C-alpha cells in the first residue's frame, strides 16, 4: 500500500514537472493544473501546488514573481532576468550580463540581507510593437483584456501570440 502511494506521488511529481518543460510563458499554477489534469484527471490543485513547491525546493524549476502577487513557474533554472510586455502581458527570458555594477552596500549597512537580485524589464514586445503600426488593431482592448485578470482569455492571448518568444534578443 505504501509503495502504491509512493508510486502515485512520483507520478504526480513527474506530471507537474513535465507540464512545465519547454514552456517559456512562465505560467501560473492554475494553468499547470489544467495541463496536468489532462493526464491525471483526479489530481487536485493543492497537490499541484505542493509538487510545484517541491520542484522549486529541489532546484528543478524556478518560481518567479514579476510585480504580481501570484507566482509564476519557470523551467529555466539558470540565473536570468525577464522582460514583461505591458501590452499583451507576455514574458520572455533575458540572459543579460550578470556582472552588474550595483552598490548594495547601503542595504547591508541598514541591516538588510540580500539573497538575490533580478531585473524585470517592462516594455512592448516586438509582436505588439509591430501590431501597433497596423490599422484595425486595437492595442487598448488587448491591454484591457490582459489587465482584467481574465486568466483564460489572457492565456489564449499569450498562446496565440507567441511572437514575444520568437524574437531574437
Ligand atoms: Zn506584447
Ligand atoms: Zn524565466
User: Where is average pLDDT lowest: 57-61, 63-67, 78-82, 120-124?
Assistant: 63-67
Which residues lie closer than 8 Å to 154 by C-beta, 6 or more apart? 89, 145, 146, 148
CB-based burial of residue 19 (10 Å sphere; 0-12 exposed, 13-18 middle, 19+ buried)?
buried
* Helix or strand holding residue 53 (H, E): helix 45-57
Identify the nearest ligand to the CA of 26 by its number: 2
Q: Which residues surround ligand 2, an ion (CB under 5 A)?
A: 74, 76, 93
CATH code, 96? 3.30.1490.190
CATH of the domain at 21: 1.10.10.10
Same-domain status, 108 and 131: yes
% of the chain with per-residue pLDDT over 90: 58
Of 47, 77, 107, the domain-final residue: 77
* Bridge-based pairing state of the strands 81-85 and 72-74: unpaired
Name the more confident of 125 and 140.
125
Whether residue 151 has pLDDT greater than 70 = no
Q: In angstroms, what is the C-alpha Rg of the chain?
A: 19
Per-position DSSP letters for 5-20, written without gaps between them: HHHHHHHHHHHHHHHH
Host domain of residue 145: 78-169
pLDDT of the residue at 134 = 60
For residues 167 and 86, state if they share a domain. yes
More confident residue, 74 or 148: 74
| Distance in Å, CA 5 to ligand 2 centroid | 33
| 84 and 124 housed in the same domain | yes
Distance 8 CA to ligand 2 centre (A): 29
**Range name among 28-32, 99-103, 121-125, 127-131 with the lowest pLDDT average:** 99-103
pLDDT in tens, 17-70: 999 999 999 999 999 999 999 999 999 999 999 999 999 999 999 999 887 889
**Which residues touch 107 (CB under 8 Å, ≥6 apart)?**
114
Residues 82 and 164 in one domain: yes
**pLDDT higher than 80, residue 124:** yes
Q: How far is the CA of 158 from the centre of ligand 1 (A)?
A: 8
Please report, in angstroms and rounded to a whole number, the separation of the first and last CA atoms in the chain. 51
Contacts of 126 (CB under 8 A, 6+ apart): 163, 164, 167
Say yes or no: 62 and 45 in one domain.
yes
Is the domain of 37 the same as that of 21? yes
Please indicate, yes or no, whether residues 83 and 155 belong to a single structural domain of this protein: yes
Ligand 2 centre from 144 Cα, in Å? 24
pLDDT at residue number 1: 63
Does one domain contain both 85 and 57? no
* Structural domains of the chain, count: 2
User: Do 73 and 93 sit in the same domain of this protein?
Assistant: no
Tell me how far the alpha carbon of residue 153 lies from the centroid of ligand 1, in angstroms: 14
Please tell me the distance between residue 36's alpha carbon and the centre of ligand 1 in angstroms: 27
Please tell me whether residues 86 and 133 are part of one structural domain: yes
Q: Are residues 86 and 117 in the same domain?
A: yes
pTM: 0.70
- For residue 13, the CA-to-ligand 2 centroid distance in Å is 21
pLDDT tens across 86-112, in order?
999 999 999 988 777 788 889 999 999
CA 1 / ligand 2 centre spacing (Å):
39
Same domain, 90 and 62: no
Ligand 2 midpoint to CA 4 (Å): 35
Given a contact cutoff of 8 angstroms between Cβ atoms, the answer to whether 92 and 81 are in contact is no
Query: What gap in Å lies between CA 30 and CA 23, rounded to an integer?
Result: 15
Amino acid at each position: 500500500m505504501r509503495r502504491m502511494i509512493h508510486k502515485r506521488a512520483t507520478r504526480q511529481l513527474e506530471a507537474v514537472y513535465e507540464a512545465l518543460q519547454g514552456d517559456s510563458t512562465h505560467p501560473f499554477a492554475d494553468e499547470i493544473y489544467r495541463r496536468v489534469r489532462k493526464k491525471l484527471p483526479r489530481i487536485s490543485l493543492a497537490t499541484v501546488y505542493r509538487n510545484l513547491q517541491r520542484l522549486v525546493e529541489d532546484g528543478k524549476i524556478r518560481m518567479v514573481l514579476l510585480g504580481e502577487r501570484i507566482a509564476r513557474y519557470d523551467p529555466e533554472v539558470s540565473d536570468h532576468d525577464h522582460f514583461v510586455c505591458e501590452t499583451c502581458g507576455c514574458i520572455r527570458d533575458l540572459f543579460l550580463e550578470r556582472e552588474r555594477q550595483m552598490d548594495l552596500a547601503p542595504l547591508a549597512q541598514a541591516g538588510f540581507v540580500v539573497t538575490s537580485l533580478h531585473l524585470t524589464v517592462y516594455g512592448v514586445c516586438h509582436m505588439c510593437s509591430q501590431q501597433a503600426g497596423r490599422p484595425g488593431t486595437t492595442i487598448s482592448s488587448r491591454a484591457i483584456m490582459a489587465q482584467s485578470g481574465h486568466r483564460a482569455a489572457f492565456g489564449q492571448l499569450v498562446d496565440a501570440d507567441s511572437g514575444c518568444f520568437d524574437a531574437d534578443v
